[in-house]
Structure 1
Amino acid sequence: MKLMINHQTHYQYTDWAKNSIQYIKMMPQSNSHQQVHTWEISVPGAQKMKKDAFANLWLTSNQVDPFQTMLIMAQGIVEIDLKHQYGVQDHLSPWLFLQPTTTTLCNTEMLAFAQHYVPQVNLSHFHRLAAALLLKMPYETASTTVCHTAVESFFAGHGVCQDHSHVFIAMAKALGVPARYVSGYLYANNQSHLASHAWAEIYLDGNWHMIDVSNQLFQPEAHVYVAIGRDYWDVAPVRGVREQGGIESMYSIVQVLAC
């Protein structure tokens, strides 16, 4: 299935900003699951491309001249293999994804919740855990921020795909199972979920298995991979610093269409 993706991120500032550096991870790569036919990214300033420690493409943009608005736009066509059952394999040891991060720590109540639904480590029990998490934490647009930790999201009782992924990853790691955070795009008719998406994956029996808690999907039949990491902060689409600029506001527009 071929998908046409358009992702726009608009920034506005109440004062003139300058000397900004943007770190952008919005570039999918071809792999066993997907073929990138075309992809372009538009961002002002001098640019440099490299790969991070997780082999994600990482674009650095440096804008010296003063500005009050900034548009970052990524677009292209990606074809996904509908028969591909597992998460994308990489060159990294899966045991790296047992490493704790501040965002994916698990407390005793969360661990007890996980153990109730995963009395033994197997895939079907993790599917049960994903279903239970969505009941406990219904999807609620704009209900949290990117700064929420797994513990905070779990006790908030609601969240978005980022929160579902962080909580699930925290629980899986507490059970001794490597778990990673994936950012990307989702093709779906349900417009209540933003097409820019995130999900978790766990490593069992020599394969990475998708656990999309928000949509209760367990195979990447409608997903485009962009970046892989331990949590959101490893794969954040845009991070940056600047001088001045006053108060920043931002909004995104994402379209994923079959073509």
Structure 2
Amino acid sequence: MILTVNHVTTYQYDAPMRAAVQSLRLFPSRFDGQRVISWEVSVEGGVRGGGFRDGAGDRIEGWSVRGPVEEVTISVAGQVETTDLAGVLRGHRELVSPMAYLRETTATWIDADLEALGQEAVVGAEDDLERAHRIARAVAEAIAYKPGVTHAHTTAAEALALGEGVCQDHAHAIIAAARAVGMPARYVSGYLHATEDGTPHEAAHAWAEVHVPAIGWIGFDAANQCCPDGRYIRLGSGLDAREAAPIRGVAQGLGEESLEVVVALEAVQQ
């Protein structure tokens, strides 16, 4: 499948800021499941800084905008050819050991309920692959997809207690439940073209990857109850949503910040 992406993020400030600095993780991952045809990232009025590929294999680029800054617009435009690998991250080069992803964060802190969910989900599973699938299914059943009920700082434990959440909450819960049974797991940010039945979906998306020793990293999207396929574009990963955020930055000044994000994803060829 060939997917085109147009993604515009605009930060506005109610008072001019002295400067703004952005760290962008907005570049498609290099692995057998996707090939970049064209891709351009730009910051209006910005100066491109250094770029590097981190230990997890993600491309990161720095930008700065000199003040006075009243608005920062980050634009992404490109085209990617994807292949369905049943969620397996095959051919992805990275240096970080999977064991590094057994660390907890505030968002993925394991409380008694998450511990129980993970432990109960894997009872009777024959191997690690089945364990991972069972955990993803248990999270999908325990947390109903409902936009607007959680926020950016909601933890996996809070979403589980609420019983509702969005893709970020599902990913955090899978990560926590997997770690509860000793399986490394991480958060992934990217794009999703549509749900499996073709229903339009929020294009900016997130899911989890669980490491299975005999196979490697495998993606699980509890929000759509599937593994990532040709409808997904993978950008980057981290211990949680904060670490894997496509855009991270700071602005110097006293102005209050507002944010607008518009993402359009279209299938050109299937």
- Which band: TM-score by shorter chain? over 0.9
SS of corresponding position for 2:67: coil
Pair 1:90-2:99 in alignment? no
Quote the residue 2:116 is aligned against. Answer: 112
Quote the residue 2:14 is aligned against. Answer: 14
Q: CA RMSD in A?
A: 1.8
Q: How does 1:1-259 map to 2 (within 5 A)?
A: 1-43=1-43, 44-48=45-49, 49-83=51-85, 85-88=87-90, 89-91=92-94, 92-119=96-123, 120=125, 122-188=128-194, 189-191=198-200, 193-204=201-212, 205-259=214-268
Q: Quick check: 1:19–1:66 contact (8 Å CA) kept in 2?
A: yes
Following the alignment from structure 2 to structure 1, what is the Cα–Cα distance between the partners of residues 107 and 203?
23
Residue deviations 1:96-128 (CA, integer Å, cap 9, x gap): 211222221211121112222211453334333
How many angstroms does 1:132 deviate by?
A: 2.9
Which deviates further from its counterpart, 135-144 or 8-17?
135-144
Following the alignment from structure 1 to structure 2, what is the Cα–Cα distance between the partners of residues 93 and 36?
26
Tell me the amino acid that sits aligned with residue 186 of structure 1. L
Which structure 2 segments of 5+ residues have no match? none
Following the alignment from structure 1 to structure 2, what is the Cα–Cα distance between the partners of residues 201 and 51?
19
Tell me the amino acid that sits aligned with residue 176 of structure 1. G
Paired residues, number: 258
How many angstroms does 1:53 deviate by?
A: 3.4
Q: Quick check: 2:235–2:246 contact (8 Å CA) kept in 1?
A: no
How many angstroms does 1:150 deviate by?
A: 1.6
Which structure 1 segments of 5+ residues have no match? none
How many angstroms does 1:15 deviate by?
A: 1.0
SS of corresponding position for 2:152: coil
Structure 1 segments (4+ residues) deviating >3 Å: none
Which deviates further from its counterpart, 32-41 or 115-124?
115-124
SS of corresponding position for 2:165: coil
How many angstroms does 1:184 deviate by?
A: 0.8
Which deviates further from its counterpart, 121-130 or 64-73?
121-130
SS of corresponding position for 2:73: strand
- TM-score of the aligned structures, taking structure 1 as reference length: 0.92
Q: Quick check: 1:117–1:126 contact (8 Å CA) kept in 2?
A: no
Identical aligned residues as a percent: 34
Assess, with a 3 A threshold, how the Cα gap between structure 1 residues 17 and 219 changes in structure 2: closer, same or farther. closer
How many angstroms does 1:256 deviate by?
A: 1.1
Q: Quick check: 1:186–1:256 contact (8 Å CA) kept in 2?
A: yes
Following the alignment from structure 1 to structure 2, what is the Cα–Cα distance between the partners of residues 100 and 14?
36
Following the alignment from structure 1 to structure 2, what is the Cα–Cα distance between the partners of residues 83 and 181?
18
